[in-house]
Structures are given as structure tokens and as C-alpha cells.
Structure 1
Amino acid sequence: MTPQQLVEQLRARFNGAIHNVTEFRGQTGVTVARERLVEICRFLKAECGFDMLSDLAGVDNYGQYPRFEVDYTLYSFTHRFWFRLKIKVPEDDMTVDSVTGIWRTANWHEREAFDMFGLRFRGHPNLRRILMWDGYPYHPLRKDFPLAGMEAELPDPEAGAGRAEPAPMLGGPFVAGSGARPSSQREPRQYDTLAEREEKQKLHGDTA
């Protein structure tokens, strides 16, 4: 089986649910109807040999509609090629059916997409945050989340007892342009001496 033959099988089996086909760097991807995601995934695993869900990622296409999407990267050890599924998710209805019943590896991937983007996966066995703490009110990988972060109440008062410094954004250390110094000279490093840290802070806005 080739990726093109697989696309034809999907079109024949799920008439009207295959919305778009893309090719990127030798990999084929299809955008499918969100409401038919689970049955398409079952078909891909049971009848087409896609035994591995390698990755599941949320995407924020800020400024577009639908704003969000979920991308599924699959691999077939039988046919030896990668295949991608995409579904579009509007901001006013961010619930997606879980595929944990098909590929168990989806468990933590879906939790991360929930944590970072606010996507909710219906039928997930334990949908809770995986990186941020329970009760954290934001979703840090959304495009409208500031690079420097947002203040939030910590889960344990003692967690904030140590010294905390604000992230040195100001358009400086994390912006590189033509002729910019190497990032090691611009961005703060954990092993920097105090003098090195202070020098980088002075040069914040200078990326030349």
C-alpha cells in the first residue's frame, strides 16, 4: 500500500469525511471530519496496519477560523510510512473524542494538549493537567499567551518562597536578527556568573 492508495481507501470508506489532502516533505496528511475521527482511526489501525500513534499535538492557528486543530502522526510498521490526520476545532466548541481506546499512547498526548491549549478529550480516562498544576487558569501554548508568562497563584505557598526573577523578555534575548550575537551571549544561562548575568541584562535590547 502507498499513501495515495490509502487516501483512496479513506475516500471510498468515509465518503464526505475526507476534507483535504496535503503533501509535505514526503509525508501525506488528510484533514477529516471531527465527528468521524474515532471510526477513521479504528479503520486505520485495524484494517490498514497503523499500529503506532507517534504523536498527537494541538495547534493554535490564532486569527483563523476554526482557530485550533489536533494533528495525529501515525506510523505503519507493515507498510513502512508515516501518515497524518488533522481535525479542525473551533474555539467555541473545543471538545474532541479521545482515541485512547485505540492507541494507549494517546493518554499523555491528550493530557498535554488539554493542559497547553485547553482542548478537551471526551472519553479520556483521566483528563487532568500534566505539566502545569491543577487549578492553573491559563493554557501556555496558545498564541495569545504572553512569552513572559502570566502570574498565577501557586498551589503551595512554600513553592514561591525562593527568589524568583522575571523572564528577561523586553524583545531582547529571545529575538535574533541578521548579525545578532550567538544566543549563548544574549540569553541567560543557568551556569552564568552574576557578572555575566548582569552584563546580559544591560545588553537586553541590543541584538546586533
Structure 2
Amino acid sequence: MFFSELKKEASDIAGCFRSRVRHFIHLHAPNPMQKYFISLCQCFASNQQATAQECQLLIDYVAMNAIALRKILKKYDKVHCSVNGRIFKTKMRAEHIEPLRSPWLIELGAFYINFNKSSGKMLDIGGPFSCDLSATEPVITLMLPDSVKLEYNLTCAICLDTVFKPYALGCGHIFCKQCACSAASVMIFQGLKAARPESKCPVCREVGI
């Protein structure tokens, strides 16, 4: 019962985070028609601060829940002298319900970095995300409490260049849109939704992209 309940909780956390980030990005990432109005709104510091704080709340949500899950599993293994907690953590990653491995967290980080650059100054909310595109392997870095640092590689595994118009598959691996469509044998204008159900990720070979 313990692990089945914990799996349900982890799935709910991942689902809630995914839906909230999708909604947040939809509201704040402008399309060409919205850019003029967004630029006017961003003239007001209060609007910038509110957007940045909302972004920070989403980061805090996923970080606190991830840390809580890690501590629960560590405590379980200590009390029961087992490795079942570590095994469960591996299963969470395999089933894509580990919050800190969500492609939506990378999307949120990219938005955070771009928003701060477009506002002309880094807003004073801690700066959890940073990005280094000049490194041999470009990465987005996320700093969490207790000096925990996570790095997300931005290199497309197909063209071996920095991802361009990145698409994340169901397994979490990220590719350029053109590379992903080519690997799935579909045209770019069709998109990955037109791929065959038996199509696999080029990296982990998981079925169903």
C-alpha cells in the first residue's frame, strides 16, 4: 500500500506541475500578435515582478515536493533496512513521474531566463536557473535548496548541435523539431502527432513518441 499510494501522489504532483506550467507558458509566452501588448505591459515593474514570482512559485512547488519524496524514500530504507526506496525512485524515473526530470521544468527554466533578459535586469527572486550555451555541451542549470544542482543537456542527440525548436518526447528526451520528425518519418508540417504508434525514441527506444 505504501508504494502504490506514494506512486499516486508522485503522479498527481507531476500532473499538476505539467498542467500549471503549460497554462503559465501559454499566458506569458507571447505569439507575434501579442508581443506589442506584452512589451507595453512589461514597462511596469509590478507586472514583471508578478510574472517572476509566479514562475518562482512553480519552481518552489516542484522542488519542495521532490525533496519531500526523496526524504520519505530515504527514511523508509533506513527504518526497514531495505533498498526498496531506491528501487522505487528508479521506477519513478522510468515511468516519467519524477518531477525534477520533467521536460516542463526545462521549459520553465528557459522561460525564466528569457524573461529576465527581456526585462533588462535579473529580477530579485533568487535566480535558480542559469544557462551556458558556450560550453562544449550547452546546459540549463537549476540550483535547489541544500546546494543541490541539476543540469539539463541542451544538445540534440541526432544532429549533435544545440537544440533548435526543441521537442520533448514522452520519455523526456529532447530533440530539434526537424530531427525528431525525421526520426519518426513524418514531415515537419505534420508534426510528431502524425507519427506511427510504434515509433520509438532514437535514444532509449521507448515506444510511443
Write 1 or 2 for the structure with the bigger share of strand.
Answer: 1
TM over 0.5: no
TM-score (norm 2): 0.28
